[in-house]
């Protein structure tokens, strides 16, 4: 769960940074340019933390795909970009791809080893069904 929280933060910071990039007008506006740099730094720090818990292919695919979809909608909403059906179809395919990647498994090998070790540990300990006090 922690890995997903960091990935969501990374996506949010990336979307904020990309929006600031557009608002910076080619880096000619000071505050949007500064915020863009800050948000990208925060984005990559959050992504680095998410990689401690999730597979790199999953993290990058979801980060790029979801970020792209959100930015496309922000482009329409804030910057009056166009959204023809072909773009909508492409975004739908991105979302479908993200769902398929998630269904394929997202745990790192280390996390799978920890889970397996916990399962073995609990299987080795017999359940105590008798009372500790005997008459």
**Which candidate, 20, 45, 46, 47, places its Cα nearest to that of 34?**
20
The token duo for 114 is: 């920890």
In a domain, 128, yes or no: no
pLDDT, tens digit, 9 for 90 and up, residues 98-129: 888 878 776 667 777 877 887 888 888 765 55
In a domain, 111, yes or no: yes
Does any domain span residue 131? no
pLDDT digits (tens, 9 = 90+) for 71-102: 999 999 999 999 999 999 999 998 898 888 87
User: Residue 35: its pLDDT value, please?
Assistant: 98
The pLDDT of residue 133: 53
Q: Classify residue 74: in a domain, yes or no.
A: yes
In a domain? residue 114 = yes
Q: Is residue 129 part of a domain?
A: no
pLDDT value of position 82: 96
Q: Identify the pLDDT of residue 117.
A: 80
Q: Is 79 exposed, middle or buried (0-12, 13-18, 19+ CB in 10 A)?
A: exposed
In a domain, 58, yes or no: yes
Residue 107's DSSP bridge partners are: 54
Assigned domain for 126 exists: no
17-25 mean pLDDT: 98
Q: How many domains does the chain have?
A: 1
Judged against a pLDDT cut of 70, whether residue 135 lies above it is answered with: no
Residue 46 structural domain: 2-121
Of the two residues 52 and 133, the one the predictor is more confident about is 52
């Amino acid at each position: 769960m922690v890995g997903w929280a960091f990935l969501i933060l990374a996506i949010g910071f990336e979307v904020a940074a990309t929006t600031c990039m557009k608002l910076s007008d080619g880096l000619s506006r000071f505050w949007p340019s500064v915020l863009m740099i800050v948000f990208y730094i925060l984005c990559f720090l959050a992504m680095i933390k998410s990689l401690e818990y999730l597979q790199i292919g999953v993290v990058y695919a979801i980060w790029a795909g979801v970020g792209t979809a959100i930015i496309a909608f922000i482009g329409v909403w804030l910057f009056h970009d166009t959204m023809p059906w072909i773009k909508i179809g492409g975004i739908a395919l991105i979302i479908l791809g993200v769902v398929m990647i998630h269904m394929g498994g997202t745990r790192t090998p280390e996390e799978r080893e920890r889970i397996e070790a916990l399962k073995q540990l609990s299987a080795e300990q017999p359940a105590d069904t008798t009372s500790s006090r005997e008459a």
